[in-house]
Amino acid sequence: MAQFVDGPVRVTVPATSANLGPGFDSLGLALSLRDELEAEVLPHGLEVEVDGAGADGVPRDESHLVVRSMRAAFDLMGEQPPGLRLSCRNVIPHARGLGSSSAAIVAGVVLARALVAGGQLLASDETLFDLAADLEGHPDNVAPAFYGGFVISGREDDRWYAVRAGVDPRITAVVFVPPTGVETKVARGLLPDSVPHADAAANAGRAALLVAALTGQPEHLLAATRDWLHQDQREPAMPATLALVRALRADGVPAVVSGAGPTVLAFGSADTSPLTARCPDGWACHDLAVEPSGALVL
């Protein structure tokens, strides 16, 4: 029977950007924008507090995504606590393509393990990552949220895999966040069931080039971030996003739709002021670093 620790535990989890152009459902990058969460075991009941991004639109009961993820991890470790208090201080924008749901899931499973005495023995990192990917349904955001950095992920023989790769220290990222979001299921619903073989081959080549560009040859980022499979197809749900991507790329900036959108991510170098100056009226702009660390217990 699992035993629970006394007092609260705190966890931080980074924002993430998936796809990065041609790496559909397989490439993800952690960014230096972090949610912070705190939880502790109570004698009874459930208390949920949420401040910051998305606070007005999330539930405060068992249906909260962090709570559901914690429950799944507690089940995995064999014991549910008698009560829980959860406090979320959200910075990652919701429904913007910056991995807010993956951050919530990863935070939940990591919080649950930290609340169990000897939790590392009951649930290894690999086991927790598998659970988080199962809960999300795909690993491209979960992997960098959990492990940090640049991660290539997918599924093989009914198991999830995640392989980290280094990132050239010259690379930075600027994200342009529009004022209204697009739900992932809406963006995915615009994708066709099949694509031409030539488009799939082109994307495969650019995804391979993107790994080389991010890990040490950033001069190839503009060519490496070209996509044929999902960005143009999502334009009906986010026309302003695709317009900004095309305008930046026309000026030689490696810009992509972040995740399922509608945020735009542009890769830069040490001086990103010319990029931040391109932020459309009413949008938010964040000049970010690649975050080397994933979920951290403080």
Could you give all domains of the chain from N- to C-terminal order, each with its CATH number? Answer: 8-166+293-297 (3.30.230.10), 172-288 (3.30.70.890)
Binding annotation for ATP: 93-103
For the stretch 243-265, pLDDT in tens is: 999 999 999 999 999 999 999 99
For the stretch 11-24, pLDDT in tens is: 999 999 999 999 99
In the structure encoding, which two tokens stand for residue 100, read together? 């807010």
List of the chain residues with pLDDT < 50: none
Binding annotation: 93-103
Residue count of the chain: 298
pLDDT on residue 279:
95
> DSSP characters for 87-126?
EEEE-SPTTSSS-HHHHHHHHHHHHHHHHBTTHHHHS-HH
Measured at the CA of 156, the angle between CA 155 and CA 158, to 5 degrees, comes to 85
For the stretch 127-167, pLDDT in tens is: 999 999 999 999 999 999 999 999 999 999 989 999 999 99
Q: What is the mean pLDDT of the chain?
A: 95
Q: Given the structure tokens 């938010």, which residue do they identify? A: 284
Cβ neighbours of residue 272 under 8 Å, at least 6 residues apart? 172, 174, 287
The percentage of residues in the chain with a pLDDT greater than 90, rounded to a whole number, is: 92
Cβ neighbours of residue 6 under 8 Å, at least 6 residues apart? none
Q: Closest Cα to residue 37, out of 111, 117, 119? A: 111
**Rounded distance, CA 164 to CA 211, Å?**
11
pLDDT on residue 187:
87
pLDDT on residue 1:
66
